[in-house]
Amino acid sequence: MLKDARQRTLDLILDLDDDQLMGPKLDIVNPLLWEIGHVAFFHEIFVLRELGATDRLLEGAEELYDSFQVAHELRWDLLLPDREKTLSYAQTVMDRMMERLESHAPTPQETYLYLLAVFHEDMHAEAFTWTRQTLEYPAPRYAKRDESNGSGGTRSSGDVEIPGGVYELGAEPHQPFVFDNEKWCHDVVLAPFSIARTAVTNQQFAEFVEDGGYDRPDLWSYSGRTWLEQNGPKHPVYWQKENGNWMQRHFDAMLPMRDYDPVIHVNWYEAEAYCKWAGRRLPTEVEWEMVASMASGAKGKPMYAWGDEAPAAEHANLDGAAMGCVDVSACAEGDSASGCRQMIGNVWEWTSSAFYPFPGYIVDRPYREYSAPWFGYNKVLRGGCWATRSRLIRDTYRNFALPHRRDVFAGFRTCVSLA
């Protein structure tokens, strides 16, 4: 897994020149050259040093790559090692980890730390992909790419009704690896509701746009209106109309918009306004997880919407295999027991919930900053996207982002209360 995660990182950066590795100073991306060093530094701190290493593999690394000590806006101004030295540092750290792994069977503590490193690099690989999209770089070329898009199926429409009741939100203790913000499952009472079988499509969101949805203050919250007044075109960020038809930028290519792909790169405010226009709302994260993990007759919660079987192409669009979204009818084998499709993969789904800890929350060591600094300011996203690694995602995984973010590979599905 460590080698695979590193190969994905290299696939995402090696074709870029030195100027592209720095890029412009923006508040939603990091300079990629800095981010590569940060990933290596994380491995050194949270694996090698946590396991007793005392030597320093790059002089001054703390002053360069500690994301909680180096302010975001300063990362372009640092005297960073050049490309060759940065990659050499990353390889040296990897070599040291490999030496440890090959010397003995890992202890439970070592296993936890190695997995933490893998998943951290997986998260940054997805962020590298967002950056390439944001900066209009070419689509990445992966060393080994699965060209399959998942099996198709009948294009579902409408809702499924959920009777409500008592539901256990959160991860169960027997799961092999979970982050602190997923701990632990606890009872929540839900009223009956109805939820869309699929995410909102490009075609559906275009109807909102063409009906003047961005020009109707009554559809937008105060914060949403404030954001809208400060930002540009009144449509999703990468949409553009040419000769009466919507086009959509995908990395460096402007392509005809595909009607039945899920809408992507919309922020929480846009999702909220669409829901109000449609007479609906965003699901809470409790509702989302309940729908995703319902399994009649199962003992305990399944790992995924379809059960405990590891994700494959027929279940979900993950791992960058399709290099973008697929039709909302695809991946029929991944339907949840409730009848909802693509709750895992394709696009992250905004929920109405703010990101807060669960009852009894305890910060995990050694990565104390994983969740705690972000509570309260962010909105919860669920389900993963086409670029998310399949080994990272599960029904209980909680992602989070500020409500104005449009760079995230995020869409949404809608619901309505029945009580």
Contacts of 415 (CB under 8 A, 6+ apart): 159, 193, 194, 195, 196, 280, 281, 282, 283, 287
Q: Looking at the structure, do residues 151 and 129 belong to the same domain, yes or no? A: no
Q: Provide DSSP, 234-248.
A: SS-TTEEEETTEEEE
* pLDDT at position 180 over 90: yes
Alpha-carbon distances of 402 from 93, 124, 228, 359, rounded to whole Å: 32, 17, 15, 22
Residue 349 falls inside a structural domain: yes
Residues 6 or more apart whose CB falls under 8 angstroms from that of 49 comprise none
Neighbours of 301 (CB within 10 A): 24
pLDDT exceeding 70 applies to what percent of the chain?
Answer: 95
From CA 322, how far away is CA 300, in angstroms rounded? Answer: 32
Domain count for the chain, please give it.
Answer: 2
What angle do helix axes 2-13 and 83-103 make, rounded to 10 degrees?
170
Length of the chain: 419
Residue 222: what pLDDT? 96
Neighbours of 100 (CB within 10 A): 16
**How sure is the predictor about 419, in pLDDT bands with cuts at 50, 70 and 90?**
confident
Residue 297 has pLDDT above 90, yes or no: no
The pTM of the full predicted model, rounded to 2 decimals, is: 0.95
One-letter amino acid identity for 252? D
Computed over every residue of the chain, the mean pLDDT equals 94
The pLDDT of 97-111, averaged and rounded, is: 95
102 and 61 housed in the same domain: yes
Q: In what order do the strands lie in the sheet with 239-242?
A: 239-242, 245-250, 253-256
Q: Are residues 215 and 234 in contact, defined by beta-carbon separation less than 8 angstroms?
A: yes
Q: Single out the residue in 86, 105, 134 at which a domain terminates.
A: 134
Residue 199's closest CA among 384, 372, 363, 404?
384
Q: Are residues 96 and 127 in the same domain?
A: yes
Strand ranges across the sheet with 410-411: 399-401, 379-382, 348-354, 410-411
Q: What pLDDT score does 113 carry?
A: 97
pLDDT band at 295 (very low <50, low <70, confident <90, very high): low
- Given a contact cutoff of 8 angstroms between Cβ atoms, the answer to whether 17 and 132 are in contact is no
For the chain, give me the number of helices (H) and strands (E)? Answer: 10, 12
Cis peptide before 357 (omega within 30 of 0): no
Q: What is the CATH number of the domain that holds 196?
A: 3.90.1580.10
> Looking at 101, 134, 167, which one is the last position of a domain?
134
CA distances from 57 to 49, 80, 96, 113, 288 (A): 11, 15, 10, 18, 44
Q: φ and ψ at 262, to 5 degrees?
A: -70, 145
- The per-residue pLDDT for 251 is 98
360 and 393, same domain (yes or no): yes
Residue 45 domain boundaries: 2-134
Non-local CB neighbours of 278 within 8 Å, separated by 6+ positions? 208, 414
Coil, helix or strand for 171? coil
On whether residue 65 sits in a domain, the answer given is yes
d(CA 387, CA 300): 28
Q: What is the DSSP letter of 159?
A: E
For the cut 90, the answer to whether the pLDDT of residue 231 exceeds it is no
Do residue 192 and residue 299 come from a single domain?
A: yes
**Which pLDDT score, from 0 to 100, does residue 232 have?**
74
What pLDDT is recorded for position 147? 45
The pLDDT of 117-132, averaged and rounded, is: 98
Whole-number Å distance between alpha carbons of 329 and 334: 11
Asked if residue 140 belongs to a domain, the reply is no
Instruction: Answer with the one of 67, 102, 134 that is the final residue of a domain.
Output: 134
Give the model confidence (pLDDT) of 140-155 as tens digits: 998 654 444 555 566 6
pLDDT digits (tens, 9 = 90+) for 233-292: 799 999 999 999 999 999 999 999 999 999 999 999 999 999 999 999 999 999 999 999
- CATH number of the domain that residue 110 is part of: 1.20.120
In a domain, 139, yes or no: no
For helices 268-277 and 202-210, the axis angle rounded to 10 degrees is: 70
Cα–Cα distance, 67 to 52 (Å, whole number): 22
- Minimum mean pLDDT among 137-151, 345-359, 402-416: which range? 137-151
Do residues 186 and 85 both lie within one domain? no
Nearest CA to 38 among 1, 93, 77? 93
Percent of all residues in the chain with a pLDDT value above 90, rounded to a whole number? 91
**Same-domain pairing of 316 and 415:** yes
- What pLDDT score does 299 carry? 66
